[in-house]
Amino acid sequence: MLSSDHHQIVKPQSDAVDVFWHEGMLQHDAVEGVFDTGINPGFLDVLEKHPENADRVRNMVSILLRGPISPYVNWLPGRLAIVSELLTFHTSEYINKLTEADKSGERREISAGTFMSPGSWEAALLAAGTTLSAMQHILNSRGKIAYALVRPPGHHSQPTQADGYCFLNNAALSVKLALDSGRCSRVAVIDIDVHYGNGTAEGFYRSDKVLTVSLHMNHGSWGSSHPQKGSVDELGEGVGLGYNLNVPLPNGTGDKGYEYAMNELVVPAVRKFGADMVVLVVGQDSSAFDPNGRQCLTMNGYRRIGQIMRAMAEEHSNGRLLMVQEGGYHVTYAAYCLHAMLEGVLKISEPYLSDPVAYYPEDEAVAVEAVKSIKRYHSEYVPFLRGT
């Protein structure tokens, strides 16, 4: 396993991805129980690991280390974030709450399904700092394609609260860094995790400098920690009106439906917005075999999304693309889907890995109609997309 002190630097290819990683993120223990509840009902012989467990990320690391894509990967170390960096997005009251929970030395459920155990806070600081390092690497022109391989995830974490396995919003912190650096004026954040990136949306809901686009299953609100619904009418407020675009997709949308949504909704919106930095928020929980989602993407779908995102970055941000890891809970298939997505980003012409799981049939007709409906709504209610 790579650590921050012993990392392999591979001679870059014509295309390469700079992967930022620190093995300290593995120390976050999200407990065992019935799925993500941490509950032992007393009548089950086998309790399962929480979906957001270290094994999922171990496989992501190992497939990039030893899989066919490894010659295209440069490994770079992560680091701890410092409090002043966290305060660019999160409130001091919320950060104090997390630090006090860590000092207690006890396992605590910070929000539904989101557990802090000894070691969790350091892992969260590493996830945030590692993502900031990846963005700084791009801003300093040391590389154009960077991937923050981090856990615990972050896109549900709002400025004032934890949510959905997330403590600190890694991607949002990197966006703030890009804007505050003076080297970027408009950032597009594309979130393909199966759940609404509500924390990122909330943090930039009143900004016209950040376009947040989230493609997710139509799950709605799930309680006090996640009041946002992810519906098409959550468009932003004030000067930010129209700069939060939600694409709630029907369950089972699949590869062709996602590609249609990307080409019909995401690509035109980013083109109109005129981003000079592109951030892809990645979750493999949109896959056909994930326990937390129902969207039926396969490796081919992720590969195509990677290709589209690379083209988008080349058109708008001089090829600069930051990818930030979020969900993805099938311990094996999530790693394979990551590999496929990076093949797409790197313009590898033929797949290096075949899909290990049986073909999953799909019918994109329902998804296509949903995307057309969303496009009509955007055309009527989003000022900068009127008439598209």
Side chain identity, residue 82: I
Q: Which amino acid is at 137?
A: H
Both tokens assigned to 360: 């999953």
Distance of CA 101 to the CA centre of its chain: 25
Q: How far is 27 from 289, CA to CA, in rounded Å?
A: 26
Beta bridge partners of 77: 21
CA distance 293 to 179: 32
Asked if 156 is an active-site residue, the reply is yes
Catalytic residue among 50, 90, 156, 216: 156
- Asked if residues 298 and 287 have their Cβ atoms less than 8 Å apart, the reply is yes
CB atoms within 10 A of CB 290: 23
Just list the catalytic residues. 156
